[in-house]
Amino acid sequence: MEILLPILIVLVLIFGFGVVAVNRARTRRRGIDNEPPARPVERSATPAPTAVLEPEAPPVEVPPEIEVEIEEALAPVEIEEIEVEEAPLEVVERPRFRDRLGKARAAFTSAFTSVRSRGGITEDTWDDLEDALLAADVGLDVATDLLDGLRDRVKAKEITDPEALLDALKVEMKDRLGAADRDLQFEPQPGSPNVWLFVGVNGVGKTTTIGKVGYAQVVDGRSVVMAAGDTFRAAAAEQLQTWAERAHADFVRGSEGGDPSAVIFDAIQRAAARDTDLVLADTAGRLHTKTNLMEELRKVRRVAAREPGRVTEVLLVIDATTGQNGLTQAKQFTDATEVTGVVLTKLDGSAKGGIVFAIETGMGLPVKLVGLGEAVGDLVPFDPDEFVEALFA
């Protein structure tokens, strides 16, 4: 009995180890059957990172019309460079003298009516004509000269009736104004801009005149710089800048109270550097009786004439409503700046249009431009024939 017990224990142990071995073998066989086939392993010095594989999405079918839109969107685009230009300036219609000179014509109308109403040419006829000429500010010397020539022709029986007398007076007045050169002088030369100086007392419309002249010159195809040489009035510089923007012109200004000559010199240098055709220069316009103003204008004139600038015009701006006072201004400014021509503003609002004769006869200065209204196109070249016809119409 003592011998059988150890033998029984050994047999139990052997059986237990056998069952365990069989179970492990079965488990290993099931695992091998479930594993995927082995892949060949490429050996590398650096271990390959573990990749996470995701299932591939099924292909998406794109409709043909959408494919076309996509191709068009991805196609290269040809870009055209467009140069943006300022809108061209409007070419304004020129007004007629006859339509704008109603007040000046009225100074002659009553006299002409009286002359025509008489059966012949009497002493009263000459008085009526003289009064009309003086009222229009033709001036005593010019009026006397015109009428004395007609008196001689009446005495010689060349003129025998009132209507013929008025026709002869019209011809004489046209002849008085017919010989002057009224063109604005411009001498093209690359790198050497023309300079037009504008002089005159305050209040005559000088700055507005510059703006209108600049506008007309740009319309005619010239490039323009406007120089605010009236540094004593900030409003003048601001007004001229507005005109420069309107006319598509360049603009130069200085500090308030600064040296006007320096402003104009800078404008000329800028115009020369940019090959600009024309510099239009404003100047101070305090009372013409001030000696310091005239000295200042002489300096401006000298500086503007330095290379590369060339002063080809000095235009005196006169208000037509001032009459004979305008003649006094003309003498003062001519002595200081060598005036080459006159711009007569506000002619449409004046009954004293005869100042044209006084200026041209007494000063020898041609009236080159006249103002017939407020609009930009109302500053026009002076036409003597049209002017005289408007007075008699």
pLDDT tens-digit profile of 306-357? 999 999 999 999 999 887 777 777 788 888 899 999 999 999 988 888 889 9
Determine what percent of the chain is predicted with pLDDT higher than 90.
56
Confidence at 47, pLDDT banded by 50, 70, 90 = very low
In DSSP terms, 195 is beta-bridged to 279, 311
* Average pLDDT estimate for 121-148: 93
What's the token pair of residue 384? Answer: 């003597």
C-beta of residue 146 within 8 angstroms of C-beta of residue 169 = yes
pLDDT at 78: 40
d(CA 258, CA 240): 16
C-beta of residue 105 within 8 angstroms of C-beta of residue 142 = no
d(CA 220, CA 139): 37
C-beta of residue 200 within 8 angstroms of C-beta of residue 284 = no
**pLDDT for residue 41 is more than 50:** no
% helix, strand, coil for the chain, step of 5: 50, 10, 40
Read out DSSP for 337-374?
H---EEEEE-GGG-S-TTHHHHHHHHH---EEEEE-SS
Distance in angstroms between the alpha carbons of the first and the last residue of the chain:
170
Burial of 182 (0-12, 13-18, 19+ CB in 10 A): middle
**pLDDT for residue 27 is more than 90:** no
Nearest to 175 by CA among 202, 142, 197: 142
pLDDT tens-digit profile of 66-108? 554 445 444 443 433 333 346 677 777 889 999 999 999 988 9
Lowest mean per-residue pLDDT among 46-55, 202-211, 366-375: 46-55
Q: Is 353 helix (H, G, I), strand (E, B) or coil?
A: coil
Read out DSSP for 171-233?
HHHHHHHSSS--SPP----TT--EEEEEE--TTSSHHHHHHHHHHHHHHTT--EEEE---TT-
pLDDT tens-digit profile of 255-309? 888 899 999 999 999 999 999 999 999 999 875 556 688 889 999 999 999 999 9
pLDDT at 242: 96
| Amino acid, single-letter form, for residue 119 | G
* Average pLDDT estimate for 139-159: 94
pLDDT at 4: 59
Measured CA distances, 368 to 33, 177, 183, 238, 339 (Å): 116, 11, 7, 26, 12
* Average pLDDT estimate for 362-369: 91
Measured CA distances, 354 to 140, 151, 213 (Å): 11, 21, 24
* CATH code, 194-339: 3.40.50.300
pLDDT at 85: 44
pTM as predicted: 0.75
Confidence at 175, pLDDT banded by 50, 70, 90 = very high
Measured in whole angstroms, the distance separating CA 172 from the mean position of its chain's CA atoms is 41
Tell me how many degrees the CA angle 387-388-392 measures, rounded to the nearest 5: 120
Nearest to 378 by CA among 350, 345, 352: 345
Q: Hunting for tokens 């009516």 — which residue is that?
A: 113
Read out DSSP for 74-137?
HS--PPPP----PPPPP-PPPPPHHHH-HHHHHHHHHHHHHHHHSSS--HHHHHHHHHHHHHTT
Q: Hunting for tokens 């008196």 — which residue is that?
A: 151
Nearest to 310 by CA among 192, 224, 198: 192
d(CA 230, CA 220): 26
* Average pLDDT of the chain to the nearest whole number: 82
**pLDDT for residue 23 is more than 70:** no
